[in-house]
């Protein structure tokens, strides 16, 4: 009888230890799942912000293209005006200076436009890399490499912020030319 009680106590103790272990494991899995959900939600929100910025830059690029076309038309018209003004010697000096200023602004616009195009391409490339990483977020999470996704998101924000700054520079040149 004592031996049987001993066996029952041992089995009960083992079952209790197993139950505690299982409960601990379940709790840890629940914590990890909560952390994953929070990280996934944050990455999704930031990805959405980056995509919104991409749409904004895309629309701005289209508007800029139309503005550059209008400016090109104005430049062509200005060149014809310069030829006509050369016939009038009294007004040539002041009008020539104005055309040269306009030409310099157009050169500045062209340079800034190239910078914007490069910045926009970098922003899009960084977003594509981030999107690829976001679709494989589980791999990064379980490998303990979520920081790589976060670093990529920072690169997206940096590249897109730079492109926005270049867009503002271009708008200033265009406003100066239009004024």
Q: How confident is the model at residue 50 (pLDDT cuts 50, 70, 90)?
A: confident
Condensed to tens digits (0 to 9), the pLDDT of residues 16-46 reads 777 787 778 788 888 888 788 877 777 777 7
The answer to whether position 4 is within a domain reads no
The answer to whether position 111 is within a domain reads yes
The answer to whether position 55 is within a domain reads yes
Q: How many domains does the chain have?
A: 1
Instruction: Give residue 146's domain range.
Output: 35-178
Residue 79 has pLDDT above 60, yes or no: yes
At 109, list the tokens. Answer: 């616009």
pLDDT for the residue 87: 67
The answer to whether position 13 is within a domain reads no
The answer to whether position 9 is within a domain reads no
Mean pLDDT, to the nearest integer, of 92-102? 80
| Distance (Å, whole) CA 116 – CA 163 | 6
Residue that wins the pLDDT comparison between 17 and 92: 17
The answer to whether position 20 is within a domain reads no
pLDDT for the residue 147: 92
Average pLDDT taken over every residue of the chain: 81
The answer to whether position 99 is within a domain reads yes
Which of the listed ranges 28-32, 155-159, 164-168 does the model predict with the highest average pLDDT? 155-159
Condensed to tens digits (0 to 9), the pLDDT of residues 100-131 reads 888 887 788 788 878 888 888 988 898 999 89
Residue 71 has pLDDT above 90, yes or no: no
Residue that wins the pLDDT comparison between 91 and 94: 94
The answer to whether position 1 is within a domain reads no
In this prediction the pTM is: 0.42
Residue 63 has pLDDT above 80, yes or no: yes
Residue 158 has pLDDT above 90, yes or no: yes
Helices (H), 87-145: 92-135, 137-142
């Amino acid at each position: 009888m004592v031996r049987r009680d001993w066996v029952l106590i041992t089995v009960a103790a083992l079952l209790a230890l197993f139950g505690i272990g299982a409960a601990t494991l379940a709790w840890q899995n629940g914590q990890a799942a909560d952390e994953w959900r929070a990280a996934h939600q944050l990455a999704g929100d930031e990805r959405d912000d980056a995509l919104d910025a991409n749409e904004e830059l895309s629309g701005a690029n289209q508007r800029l293209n139309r503005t550059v076309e209008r400016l090109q038309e104005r430049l062509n018209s200005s060149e014809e005006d310069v030829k006509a003004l050369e016939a009038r010697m009294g007004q040539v000096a002041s009008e020539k200076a104005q055309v040269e200023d306009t030409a310099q602004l157009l050169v500045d616009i062209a340079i800034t436009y190239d910078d914007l195009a490069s910045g926009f391409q970098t922003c899009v490339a960084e977003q594509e890399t981030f999107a690829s990483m976001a679709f494989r977020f589980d791999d990064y999470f379980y490998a303990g490499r979520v920081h790589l996704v976060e670093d990529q998101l920072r690169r997206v924000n940096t590249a897109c912020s730079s492109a926005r700054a270049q867009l503002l520079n271009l708008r200033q040149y265009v406003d100066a030319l239009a004024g």
